[in-house]
Amino acid sequence: MIHSRTAAAPSTQGFVLLEALIALLIFSLAVLGLVGLQASMTRATSGAKYRADAAYLASDLVGLMWTDSRNLALYDAGNCAGHPPCQRWMDRVSERLPTGVGKAEVSKTEPGQVTVKVTWQAPSDELRQFQTTTAVNPNPVQP
């Protein structure tokens, strides 16, 4: 008996496995892209929160200076630690911002002009600063 071989169709045994591996690779790349995007969004959200906190804290100190304008010189960077309202503000800055430092500079040449600077550094980020300058006119003495 003679066995004859006929031309067999090309083998497709490994084709489904190859398709599955390619699909898995594409899916893995998509997941890695989403994880990177999520990390970037989290970093941007944290940065925005810190900037908003710094702006709020600077505005808070300016408001405090307006209500206590007779003691404006006590808010200057060298005197602030000795003035309780200013010291409490500095404590709030260090509590709300990572490595946060706040200071005010009262102009010696321009009466009532103050500059408030708030600096902070988030983990694995560069040093950031928010600065505002305004004029605080002393309240008149009530008779």
pLDDT digits (tens, 9 = 90+) for 63-113: 999 988 888 888 888 788 889 999 999 999 999 999 888 888 888 778 889
- CA distances for 66 relative to 35, 63, 94, 113, 136, angstroms: 47, 5, 22, 11, 6
Assess contact for 79 and 73: CB atoms under 8 A. Answer: yes
Q: How far is CA 108 from CA 75, 111, 131, in A?
A: 13, 7, 18
CB atoms within 10 A of CB 40: 10
pTM: 0.73
The domain spans of the chain are: 51-135
